[in-house]
Amino acid sequence: MAAPGPPIFVDANVLIDFAGVDLRVLGLVSSGIGEVRVVTEVLAEARTTDAAACGRVGIVVVTPTLAQILAAGVRRAGLSFEDHLCLLAAKGAGARCLSNDQPLRSACAAEGVPCVWGLEIMLELVAADSLDRARADTVAVKIQACNPLHISGAILAEFRRKLAAIP
Protein backbone atom coordinates (compact mmCIF):
# COMPACT_ATOMS: atom_id res chain seq x y z
CA MET A 1 0.00 0.00 0.00
CA ALA A 2 1.40 3.40 -0.98
CA ALA A 3 1.79 6.11 1.62
CA PRO A 4 -0.94 8.76 1.45
CA GLY A 5 1.19 11.86 1.00
CA PRO A 6 3.94 13.16 -1.23
CA PRO A 7 7.40 11.62 -0.94
CA ILE A 8 9.90 12.89 1.60
CA PHE A 9 13.61 13.16 0.79
CA VAL A 10 15.81 12.66 3.84
CA ASP A 11 19.15 14.42 4.12
CA ALA A 12 22.29 13.00 5.69
CA ASN A 13 21.96 14.60 9.12
CA VAL A 14 18.50 13.18 9.77
CA LEU A 15 19.42 9.81 8.26
CA ILE A 16 22.45 9.65 10.56
CA ASP A 17 20.30 10.47 13.61
CA PHE A 18 17.68 7.83 12.91
CA ALA A 19 20.14 5.19 11.68
CA GLY A 20 22.04 5.57 14.94
CA VAL A 21 18.91 5.13 17.06
CA ASP A 22 16.00 3.50 15.23
CA LEU A 23 15.87 3.51 11.43
CA ARG A 24 12.52 1.72 11.59
CA VAL A 25 10.88 5.05 12.47
CA LEU A 26 11.65 6.34 8.98
CA GLY A 27 10.08 3.14 7.69
CA LEU A 28 6.91 4.06 9.56
CA VAL A 29 6.99 7.42 7.78
CA SER A 30 7.23 5.58 4.45
CA SER A 31 4.22 3.44 5.18
CA GLY A 32 2.00 6.06 6.79
CA ILE A 33 2.86 9.61 5.75
CA GLY A 34 4.90 9.68 2.56
CA GLU A 35 7.49 7.45 0.97
CA VAL A 36 10.90 8.27 2.41
CA ARG A 37 13.58 8.50 -0.26
CA VAL A 38 17.31 9.03 -0.04
CA VAL A 39 19.56 10.01 -2.91
CA THR A 40 22.49 7.59 -3.41
CA GLU A 41 25.07 10.33 -2.79
CA VAL A 42 23.33 11.38 0.43
CA LEU A 43 23.29 7.76 1.59
CA ALA A 44 27.02 7.51 0.88
CA GLU A 45 27.66 10.75 2.77
CA ALA A 46 25.79 9.48 5.84
CA ARG A 47 27.97 6.34 6.14
CA THR A 48 25.79 5.03 9.00
CA THR A 49 23.59 2.69 7.01
CA ASP A 50 23.40 1.13 3.57
CA ALA A 51 20.91 0.53 0.79
CA ALA A 52 20.00 -2.92 2.08
CA ALA A 53 19.14 -1.61 5.55
CA CYS A 54 17.14 1.22 4.01
CA GLY A 55 15.25 -1.21 1.81
CA ARG A 56 14.40 -3.45 4.76
CA VAL A 57 12.55 -0.59 6.49
CA GLY A 58 10.93 0.85 3.37
CA ILE A 59 13.27 3.74 2.55
CA VAL A 60 13.70 4.00 -1.21
CA VAL A 61 17.22 4.71 -2.48
CA VAL A 62 17.09 6.79 -5.66
CA THR A 63 19.73 7.58 -8.23
CA PRO A 64 19.67 11.23 -9.28
CA THR A 65 19.27 12.14 -12.91
CA LEU A 66 22.23 13.40 -14.90
CA ALA A 67 20.56 16.82 -15.01
CA GLN A 68 20.30 16.85 -11.20
CA ILE A 69 23.95 15.83 -10.82
CA LEU A 70 25.08 18.57 -13.20
CA ALA A 71 22.89 21.18 -11.52
CA ALA A 72 24.10 20.14 -8.05
CA GLY A 73 27.67 20.57 -9.29
CA VAL A 74 27.03 24.29 -9.71
CA ARG A 75 27.96 25.80 -6.35
CA ARG A 76 25.12 27.18 -4.29
CA ALA A 77 26.05 29.23 -1.26
CA GLY A 78 25.97 27.20 1.94
CA LEU A 79 25.05 23.88 0.33
CA SER A 80 27.19 20.83 -0.10
CA PHE A 81 26.87 18.86 -3.34
CA GLU A 82 24.80 16.24 -1.47
CA ASP A 83 22.46 18.81 0.10
CA HIS A 84 22.01 20.46 -3.29
CA LEU A 85 21.13 17.04 -4.79
CA CYS A 86 18.63 16.42 -1.98
CA LEU A 87 16.98 19.78 -2.72
CA LEU A 88 16.88 19.18 -6.48
CA ALA A 89 15.49 15.65 -6.07
CA ALA A 90 12.80 16.83 -3.65
CA LYS A 91 11.83 19.73 -5.89
CA GLY A 92 11.74 17.52 -8.97
CA ALA A 93 9.46 15.01 -7.26
CA GLY A 94 7.14 17.58 -5.67
CA ALA A 95 8.33 16.21 -2.35
CA ARG A 96 9.13 17.49 1.10
CA CYS A 97 12.63 17.54 2.56
CA LEU A 98 13.42 16.05 5.97
CA SER A 99 16.35 18.04 7.33
CA ASN A 100 17.84 19.77 10.35
CA ASP A 101 20.40 21.59 8.20
CA GLN A 102 19.63 25.33 8.21
CA PRO A 103 21.32 26.19 4.88
CA LEU A 104 19.42 23.36 3.18
CA ARG A 105 16.17 24.39 4.82
CA SER A 106 16.70 28.00 3.68
CA ALA A 107 17.44 26.88 0.12
CA CYS A 108 14.33 24.69 0.16
CA ALA A 109 12.23 27.63 1.34
CA ALA A 110 13.63 29.77 -1.48
CA GLU A 111 12.68 27.03 -3.97
CA GLY A 112 9.22 26.38 -2.51
CA VAL A 113 10.13 22.94 -1.18
CA PRO A 114 8.45 22.26 2.17
CA CYS A 115 10.73 21.06 4.99
CA VAL A 116 10.19 19.01 8.10
CA TRP A 117 12.55 18.88 11.09
CA GLY A 118 13.95 15.49 12.04
CA LEU A 119 12.07 15.16 15.32
CA GLU A 120 8.97 16.87 13.91
CA ILE A 121 8.26 13.95 11.58
CA MET A 122 7.63 11.80 14.65
CA LEU A 123 4.90 14.23 15.74
CA GLU A 124 3.17 13.55 12.42
CA LEU A 125 3.49 9.82 13.06
CA VAL A 126 2.00 10.11 16.54
CA ALA A 127 -0.85 12.30 15.25
CA ALA A 128 -1.56 9.66 12.58
CA ASP A 129 -1.54 6.86 15.22
CA SER A 130 1.44 5.27 13.47
CA LEU A 131 3.84 5.68 16.41
CA ASP A 132 3.09 5.64 20.10
CA ARG A 133 4.11 8.57 22.29
CA ALA A 134 6.44 6.56 24.49
CA ARG A 135 8.47 5.28 21.54
CA ALA A 136 8.58 8.75 19.97
CA ASP A 137 9.86 10.19 23.23
CA THR A 138 12.45 7.43 23.67
CA VAL A 139 13.75 7.89 20.13
CA ALA A 140 13.93 11.67 20.55
CA VAL A 141 15.84 11.35 23.83
CA LYS A 142 18.32 8.93 22.25
CA ILE A 143 18.80 11.14 19.19
CA GLN A 144 19.45 14.13 21.44
CA ALA A 145 21.95 12.11 23.49
CA CYS A 146 23.79 11.04 20.32
CA ASN A 147 23.69 14.48 18.70
CA PRO A 148 23.58 17.13 21.45
CA LEU A 149 25.38 19.68 19.30
CA HIS A 150 22.51 19.90 16.80
CA ILE A 151 19.59 18.58 18.87
CA SER A 152 19.81 20.69 21.99
CA GLY A 153 18.02 20.20 25.27
CA ALA A 154 15.76 23.10 24.28
CA ILE A 155 14.83 21.37 21.01
CA LEU A 156 14.07 18.17 22.92
CA ALA A 157 11.94 20.10 25.43
CA GLU A 158 9.98 21.77 22.61
CA PHE A 159 9.47 18.37 20.96
CA ARG A 160 8.15 16.97 24.23
CA ARG A 161 5.81 19.94 24.68
CA LYS A 162 4.39 19.41 21.17
CA LEU A 163 4.17 15.65 21.72
CA ALA A 164 2.12 16.15 24.90
CA ALA A 165 -0.23 18.53 23.04
CA ILE A 166 -1.22 15.99 20.38
CA PRO A 167 -4.84 14.96 21.05
Q: What's the confidence (pLDDT) of residue 3?
A: 58
Residue 111 has pLDDT above 80, yes or no: yes
- pLDDT averaged over every residue in the chain: 94
Residue 144 has pLDDT above 50, yes or no: yes
Residue 2 has pLDDT above 60, yes or no: no
Q: What's the confidence (pLDDT) of residue 75?
A: 84
Residue 146 has pLDDT above 70, yes or no: yes
Q: What's the confidence (pLDDT) of residue 105?
A: 96
Report the CATH number at residue 37: 3.40.50.1010
Instruction: Classify 167 as helix, strand or coil.
Output: coil
pTM of the model: 0.93
Distances (CA, A) of 18 to 28, 52, 73, 75: 12, 15, 27, 28
Supply the range of the domain harboring residue 34.
1-167
| Beta pairing, strands 5-10 & 115-116 | unpaired
Q: What's the confidence (pLDDT) of residue 1?
A: 45
Kindly report the CA angle at 95 between 124 and 31, in degrees rounded to 5? 45
Handedness of CA 98, 100, 101, 102 (dihedral sign): positive
Within 10 angstroms of residue 145's Cβ, the number of other Cβ atoms is: 12
Mean pLDDT of 45-55: 92
Amino acid in the structure at residue 161 = R
Q: What's the confidence (pLDDT) of residue 76?
A: 84
Asked if residue 12 lies in contact with residue 41, where contact means CB atoms within 8 angstroms, the answer is: no
- Convert the pLDDT of each residue in 65-85 to its tens digit: 999 999 999 988 889 999 999
Domain count, the chain: 1
Distances (CA, A) of 155 to 11, 34, 96, 148: 19, 24, 21, 10
Q: What's the confidence (pLDDT) of residue 112?
A: 97
